[in-house]
Amino acid sequence: MSKVYLLGAGPGDPGLLTLRAREILAAADTVVYDYLASPGLLEHCRRDAELIYVGKKGGDHTMGQQDINALLVDKARSGRCVARLKGGDPYVFGRGAEEVEDLVAAGIDFEVVPGVTSAVAAPAYAGIPLTHRRYSSSVTFITGHEDPGKTESAHNWAALAQSASTLVFFMGVKNLDSITANLVQAGMEETTPAALVRWGTTCRQQTLTGTVADIAPAARAAGFKAPALLIVGQVVGLRDTLSWFEHKPLLGRGVVVTRAREQASSLLQLLQEHGACCYQFPTIAISALEDTGEVQEAVDRLGSYDWCIFTSVNGVRHFWSVLEAKGLDSRALGRAKVGAIGPATARALQDKGINPDVVPEKYVAESVISSLKEKGIAGNRVLIPRAEKAREILPRELIRAGAEVDVVPVYRTGLAEQNGEDILQAMNNGEIQYVTFTSSSTVENFFRLIPPEQLHPFVPDQVKLACIGPITARTLEGYGFSAHVQPAEYTVPALAQALVEDAG
Ligand code: SAH
């Protein structure tokens, strides 16, 4: 059904999108979006949705407002369901009303989904409540975009300066001098607290505080740039007690995640929770084998194994897809005991209804071997479904301990198709502080994509390297680097925690 939905994208933190907006994004045929909308939001869109970027960055409009309005009308007329995603709330200084006026004129059906405006969210993340019984009982949203050369201002500066209202100026960075001068000239106390919040609610949030008299020179001295909000009023002082977001230990730190895309989410989530700006750079591509003949044969003789040992989440996932393709389920494992090399693998098994019999204390092959030896593995038949290429130590040592071992490849890892340019550019801009490695293959593949000599100039002064465990660290040493961060326990949560401690 052709219709245009004007959606508020929220202020930047992708978690601040409304449920209604997400629902519509997931259904839309066409999504027309702006510069300020967080790129992460596009992940809610249908895979086959048509995505149109219409930009809007300072004065450099990729597409003029008239053309955007015409585009919405055209797309709706061609029978499409259109989501028009706009930063913050679409009706707060977003020209959303102009877009809808043209839809109405063209007789096109529409709906509006309000968003969390930056005017409310950015101060909240900066520890500034817009109202407080003691300090302010009203709020005014003001555009700071007015041409300072204009003789007749649209604003009643005297009313703004003398009210006890909290003032929130949008788009005010360029005109900071004239805005603050107007307020003081119109009678505002020079000591009135003021704050600038840049990139509010994102990992790049920065806040600068001062007074209405000194915030403009302070912003100039600090090189403070748009997009930012200027907040003026006594409530700004509450930030000293109510600040929280800016206490996040990794806020503003750029962290490169080199894990395969399918495996990255737990690390990404932990790092983002601590405020990090994550750069996804999957070095490994995981794929199913074209020929699953060998796995199928192993499945056919599953009943003959005493043990089945899984060394990764992918091993579990791909083994089960072969089971399921044969119309089987977890019961096919029958009497075989099950081992998992680490807690994530154990969880993947639990999702399949299997509670592993062995999860070693340390999450490396060496530790699995000693746990299994304790269980008396001699004379047992062991199946290890795993990646096509993997460390030989596990099967070798189990054979030495007297087991009969079948290693069966169930998936393949390869070099991901990646261009290292963006990461190197971000390093050049000083935006990256850590690169994380969660296996030897992430190290090896990273250096196939970004040669060691290109990384050298940044390490260790600007960029530190973090490894999940000793084997990964040793592989890194082979390339002439050492691991600056390495947790005592070889897990993803411990790695994230080690970064937090290092940054702190
Ligand atoms: N409709 C949007 C505002 C669009 S005007 C909303 O409701 O938030 C664009 C201006 O909004 C920017 O110049 C800046 O002043 C402000 N802005 C938007 N997102 C911001 C953010 N994350 N942090 C600080 N200011 C932001």
Interval 443-457: pLDDT, tens: 999 999 999 999 999
Residues 320 and 200 occupy one common structural domain:
no
User: Closest ligand 1 atom to the C-alpha of 89?
Assistant: 7
Q: For 451-484, write each residue's pLDDT tens digit.
A: 999 999 999 999 999 999 999 999 999 999 999 9
Tokens of 401: 């301990």
Summarize the confidence of residues 217-235 as an average pLDDT.
97
How many beta carbons lie within 10 A of that of residue 447, not counting itself? 21
Q: Are 300 and 269 contacting, i.e. CB atoms less than 8 angstroms apart?
A: no
Of 84-93, 117-126, 144-153, 375-384, where does mean pLDDT reach its minimum?
144-153
Q: Is the CB of 36 under 6 A from ligand 1?
A: yes
SS3 content of the chain, % helix, strand, coil (to 5): 40, 20, 40
Q: Where are the alpha helices (DSSP H) in 402-439?
A: 421-428
How many beta carbons lie within 10 A of that of residue 308, not counting itself? 24
Q: Is the pLDDT of residue 147 over 80?
A: no
Q: Is the pLDDT of residue 375 over 90?
A: no
Summarize the confidence of residues 357-386 as an average pLDDT.
83
Domain that holds residue 23: 3-115
Q: Is the CB of 227 under 6 A from ligand 1?
A: yes
| Phi and psi torsions of 292, nearest 5° | -100, 20
Question: For the chain, what is the domain count?
Answer: 4
Q: Is the pLDDT of residue 49 over 80?
A: yes
Task: Quote the pLDDT of residue 367.
Answer: 76
Q: What is the DSSP string of 228-270?
A: EEEEESGGGGGHHHH--GGG-TTTT-EEEE-S-GGG-HHHHHH
Task: Quote the pLDDT of residue 150.
Answer: 73
Which of 415, 448, 469 finishes a domain?
415
Task: Supply angle C-alpha 187, 189, 191, rounded to 5.
Answer: 155
What CATH number has the domain bearing residue 226?
3.30.950.10
Question: How far apart are the CA of 464 and the centre of ligand 1, in A?
Answer: 33
User: Closest ligand 1 atom to the C-alpha of 36?
Assistant: 19
Determine the angle formed by the axes of helices 313-325 and 343-351, rounding to 10 degrees: 20
Residues 422 and 278 occupy one common structural domain:
yes
Residues 300 and 375 occupy one common structural domain:
yes
Task: Supply angle C-alpha 223, 227, 232, rounded to 5.
Answer: 85
On average, the pLDDT of the chain sits at 93
Q: Is the pLDDT of residue 232 over 90?
A: yes
- Assign 355 a pLDDT band (cuts: 50, 70, 90): very high
Summarize the confidence of residues 226-233 as an average pLDDT.
96
Residues 92 and 211 occupy one common structural domain:
no
Residues 274 and 361 occupy one common structural domain:
no
Closest to 504 (Cα-Cα) out of 277, 270, 250: 250
63 is annotated as an active-site residue: no
Task: Quote the pLDDT of residue 301.
Answer: 93
Of 142-146, 236-240, 408-412, where does mean pLDDT reach its minimum?
142-146
Q: Is the CB of 87 under 6 A from ligand 1?
A: yes
Question: How far apart are the CA of 53 and the centre of ligand 1, in A?
Answer: 18
What CATH number has the domain bearing residue 80?
3.40.1010.10
Q: In 3-state terms, what secondary structure has residue 408?
A: strand
Q: Is the CB of 292 under 6 A from ligand 1?
A: no
Q: Are 25 and 41 contacting, i.e. CB atoms less than 8 angstroms apart?
A: yes
Task: Supply angle C-alpha 385, 389, 394, rounded to 5.
Answer: 60
What CATH number has the domain bearing residue 486?
3.40.50.10090
Catalytic residue, candidates 13, 75, 171, 248: 171
User: Closest ligand 1 atom to the C-alpha of 117?
Assistant: 7
Q: Using CA of residue 160, residue 166, residue 170, residue 175, what is the dihedral sign? A: positive
- Assign 148 a pLDDT band (cuts: 50, 70, 90): low
Tokens of 199: 């990139």
User: Closest ligand 1 atom to the C-alpha of 116?
Assistant: 7
Residues 51 and 16 occupy one common structural domain:
yes
Tokens of 79: 């029978």
Q: Is the CB of 89 under 6 A from ligand 1?
A: yes
Q: Is the pLDDT of residue 346 over 80?
A: yes
Task: Quote the pLDDT of residue 154.
Answer: 83
Summarize the confidence of residues 434-446 as an average pLDDT.
96
Question: How far apart are the CA of 352 and the centre of ligand 1, in A?
Answer: 45
Residues 205 and 230 occupy one common structural domain:
yes
Catalytic residue, candidates 13, 34, 86, 337: 34
Residues 170 and 103 occupy one common structural domain:
no
Q: Is the CB of 118 under 6 A from ligand 1?
A: yes
Summarize the confidence of residues 343-347 as an average pLDDT.
90
Q: Is the pLDDT of residue 349 over 80?
A: yes
User: Closest ligand 1 atom to the C-alpha of 169?
Assistant: 15
Residues 330 and 373 occupy one common structural domain:
yes
Question: How far apart are the CA of 432 and the centre of ligand 1, in A?
Answer: 25
d(CA 236, CA 329): 59
Q: Is the pLDDT of residue 413 over 90?
A: no
Q: In 3-state terms, what secondary structure has residue 503?
A: helix
Of 1-10, 249-258, 270-279, where does mean pLDDT reach its minimum?
1-10
Q: Is the CB of 201 under 6 A from ligand 1?
A: yes
pTM equals 0.85
Q: What is the DSSP string of 430-451?
A: T---EEEE-SHHHHHHHHHHS-
Which of 52, 80, 115 finishes a domain?
115
Question: How far apart are the CA of 228 and the centre of ligand 1, in A?
Answer: 7
Of 188-197, 230-239, 293-302, where does mean pLDDT reach its minimum?
293-302
Residues 225 and 309 occupy one common structural domain:
no
Q: What is the DSSP string of 111-132?
A: EEE----HHHHHHHHTT--S-B
Percent of the chain with pLDDT over 90: 83
Question: How far apart are the CA of 73 and the centre of ligand 1, in A?
Answer: 26
Task: Quote the pLDDT of residue 19.
Answer: 98
Tokens of 327: 């119309």
Where are the extended beta strands (E) located within 258-374? 277-280, 284-288, 307-310, 337-340
Q: Is the pLDDT of residue 341 over 80?
A: yes
Q: In 3-state terms, what secondary structure has residue 472?
A: helix
- Checking DSSP bridges between strand 228-232 and strand 166-170, what pairing results, if any? antiparallel
Q: Burial of 494 by CB count in 10 Å (0-12 exposed, 13-18 middle, 19+ buried)?
A: middle
Pick the residue with more confidence: 232 or 311? Answer: 232
Q: For 414-431, write each residue's pLDDT tens digit.
A: 999 989 999 999 999 999
171 is annotated as an active-site residue: yes
Residue among 118, 205, 245 whose CB has most ligand 1 atoms within 8 A, to mutate = 118
Task: Quote the pLDDT of residue 59.
Answer: 54
Q: Is the CB of 200 under 6 A from ligand 1?
A: yes
Q: Is the CB of 435 under 6 A from ligand 1?
A: no
Question: How far apart are the CA of 125 and the centre of ligand 1, in A?
Answer: 14
Task: Quote the pLDDT of residue 299.
Answer: 93
Residues 8 and 106 occupy one common structural domain:
yes
Q: Is the pLDDT of residue 273 over 90?
A: yes
Of 11-15, 38-42, 193-197, 277-281, where does mean pLDDT reach its minimum?
38-42
- Assign 38 a pLDDT band (cuts: 50, 70, 90): confident
Task: Quote the pLDDT of residue 36.
Answer: 65
Residues 41 and 155 occupy one common structural domain:
no
Q: Is the peptide bond before 487 cis (omega within 30 degrees of 0)?
A: no
Q: Is the CB of 411 under 6 A from ligand 1?
A: no
In sequence order, the 6+-apart residues with CB closer than 8 A to the CB of 452 are 479, 480, 481
Summarize the confidence of residues 382-397 as an average pLDDT.
89
Task: Quote the pLDDT of residue 358.
Answer: 86
Summarize the confidence of residues 9-20 as an average pLDDT.
96
Percent of the chain with pLDDT over 70: 97
Which of 374, 398, 415 finishes a domain?
415
Q: Is the CB of 229 under 6 A from ligand 1?
A: yes
State the DSSP H helix or E strand holding residue 476, giving kind and residue range, or none if neither. helix 470-477
Q: Is the pLDDT of residue 56 over 70?
A: no
Question: How far apart are the CA of 176 and the centre of ligand 1, in A?
Answer: 15
Q: Are 267 and 496 contacting, i.e. CB atoms less than 8 angstroms apart?
A: yes
- Assign 374 a pLDDT band (cuts: 50, 70, 90): confident
Task: Supply angle C-alpha 497, 501, 504, rounded to 5.
Answer: 135
